[in-house]
Amino acid sequence: MAAPCWLFRNGRYGFGRIKIASAHCRIAGSISRASTAPSKQTPSTIVKPLAKTGQYVISKFKFFLEGYDKILKKFPVAYRLHQVFLVGTRDLYQDVRNYMKISQDLRAGKSVRELSRKELELYYQVPRDILKVAPTLLVISLPGTNFFMFPLVYLFPRQLLTWQFWSLEQRVDYSVAAQKKKVYSFRSVFRHLQSKVPQGEQGETLLGVFHKLGSGTHPTVAEVLAIKQYFSTKPLSLSSLSRNHLVALCRIHGKSTFFLGRKRRLWKHGGFVREMDLAMAREGLGQMDLSELRWACFLRGINPMGLSKRDMVLWLQDWIHISSNIEGDCISLLLHCPVLLAYNAPSNWILIH
């Protein structure tokens, strides 16, 4: 069996940079902003600089990565066999450096609205990468452990490593596998939504949207925005959701279902995604290459494999329009948008049927 290749590095999914020149595929600068959206001068309650403890831990991990190739050189055979492993480590090191720079900029007073889409995506992803891969790197650095750790890494790269170490094919395959797990929970979330429809005329608008989903279609952006009031207070605000509803919602966003901090994790995830949405609206989708569009779609709950660039852009335009026209207390609506906008998407259904 050939060893997996982690050497290639041309975008998150390895697809070349393709410009989307069509005016139809750009976000118009006139996308309306929520009236209560914070100004550039207002500090974000979600995208914040590192606390002193976090800054200390990240700096120590960065220092550890700087000398990681020297550690592996102590084991000549492993060093020769795993040059490609070092490439992933160096890429991770560069991401950590950029992460710390962004944190320092935020601490110095830079507004979150001044961060680019790429900076926000990196600031979102790097802490998750560190938590996942740090134990593997630390164990491999210990004397005598590389002889059993490298075979484990070879057999379980998805569980033990992060995307910096994966080949182009692995990046796509693992993203599709993660999306498949999310899609399995879509129906559960939809059932919970249906159970919360108010009786009588008060729930007619909400019921109309759910009837569309149940009949195999999707509501329009205007119809989704028309029900946002249900998600800012009872019955569908984040604080009003049942335990099982929160668990299913965590699963469709790839979040931990551990009982402590479910609402906090979802609220932070939704807020972070909204900031990335606003950055995409500012910069335009035409600036994104194919791999970036696919990553954006995976993050927001639709399988982009098999979709054309135009289809991805149009779907993201709908998502961004909703995100740009909700207030901070409607994060629950954004968290349910994978179901509202992609429940019947053929690219999702093909994963589970």
pTM beyond 0.75: the answer is yes
Burial class of 242 by CB neighbour count within 10 A (0 to 12, 13 to 18, 19+): exposed
For residue 261, the model assigns a pLDDT of 92
Element (H, E) at 105: helix 83-107
For residue 17, the model assigns a pLDDT of 38
For residue 237, the model assigns a pLDDT of 94
Count of residues making up the chain: 353
For residue 327, the model assigns a pLDDT of 86
* Residue 254 tokens, joined: 């790839």
For residue 51, the 8-state DSSP code is P
For residue 56, the model assigns a pLDDT of 65
Q: Which residues of the chain have pLDDT under 70?
A: 1-45, 48, 50, 52, 54-57, 60-84
* Residue 280 tokens, joined: 């995409």
Q: How far apart are CA 297 and CA 342, in angstroms?
A: 10
CB of 45 within 8 A of CB of 66?
Answer: no
For 218-233, the pLDDT digits (tens) are: 999 999 999 999 999 9
For residue 304, the model assigns a pLDDT of 97
| Residue for token pair 């990335």 | 276
DSSP codes joined into one string, 264-333: HHHHHHHHHHHHHHHHHHHH-GGG--HHHHHHHHHHHT---TT--HHHHHHHHHHHHHHHHT--GGGHHH
Q: How far apart are CA 4 and CA 289, in angstroms?
A: 25
Q: b/e per residue, 125-143, with b = 16+ CB within 10 A?
A: bbeebbeebbebbeebbee
